[in-house]
Amino acid sequence: MSKERDRRTAADSLCTRPCDPPRAFHFFVDGRRARSVRVEIEQAVSQTKGSMIDRAALHGEILGQVRRAAAGKLRLGLDNGDVLEPVRRNPDLWEIKWKRGKRGEFRLYHAEPGNAPDLVGLRFHAKDTSSNDADEIEHLQNAEMDEAGRRFVDGVKDRWGHTPGCHDCAGS
């Protein structure tokens, strides 16, 4: 991994460069379908507080934001403080954040291979702040970023499960 200073900003991401039709934003799935980012989103949402309707709305917001990213229409401060940032500990990765107050915060780490697929979501999780300890919270989140980094490297040989007519891409 490069030790050069990471000078990326959100403006360097494909997620902020409009594209019509939208780019392929693939959700990582491994060969045995044991690990699936689509399922990680469903599981994280299912564990939030609120009614079934609240959870369905949150699920829709998250997928809607990913579809906007695929269309290159993510903008800083879009709503509710949601943001896109480079992951400083891994120059291959970007981070999309959802901040939902008492309902929690959510993170999607993705990479931008540029073709087949254009973008790949590698790991989705609810931010674990249960320790109330800043160092521990950071440690846990770094571990999630490192998992995304491993999936990026290990998955390149099968394009992270992306296929022609893929059913694991956002919007499919």
Of all helices (H) and strands (E), which one includes residue 83?
A: strand 83-86
Can residue 169 be called a binding residue for Zn ion (CB under 5 A)?
yes
Near Zn ion by CB under 5 A, which window of 41-49, 59-67, 86-94, 155-163? 155-163
Q: How far is the CB of 44 from Zn ion (least distance, A)?
A: 20
Stretch of residues binding Zn ion (CB under 5 A), selected from 65-73, 83-91, 136-144, 158-166: 158-166
CB closer to Zn ion, 26 vs 110? 26
Rg of the chain (C-alpha set): 15
Site string for Zn ion, 12-51 (x = CB under 5 A): --------------x-------------------------
| Helix 37-46 / helix 52-70 crossing angle, nearest 10 deg | 150
Binding-residue pattern over the window 53 to 82 for Zn ion, x denoting contact by CB under 5 A:
------------------------------
| Least distance CB 26 / Zn ion (angstroms) | 3
Would the CA dihedral through 54, 94, 73, 83 be positive or negative? Answer: positive
Measured distance CA(64)–CA(159) in Å, rounded: 23
Copy the structure tokens of residue 163.
């296929």
Measured distance CA(92)–CA(110) in Å, rounded: 8
Pick between residue 39 and residue 166 the one whose CB is nearest to Zn ion. 166
Rounded to a whole number of angstroms, the distance between the first and last alpha carbons of the chain is 33
Site for Zn ion, rule CB under 5 A: 26, 162, 166, 168-169
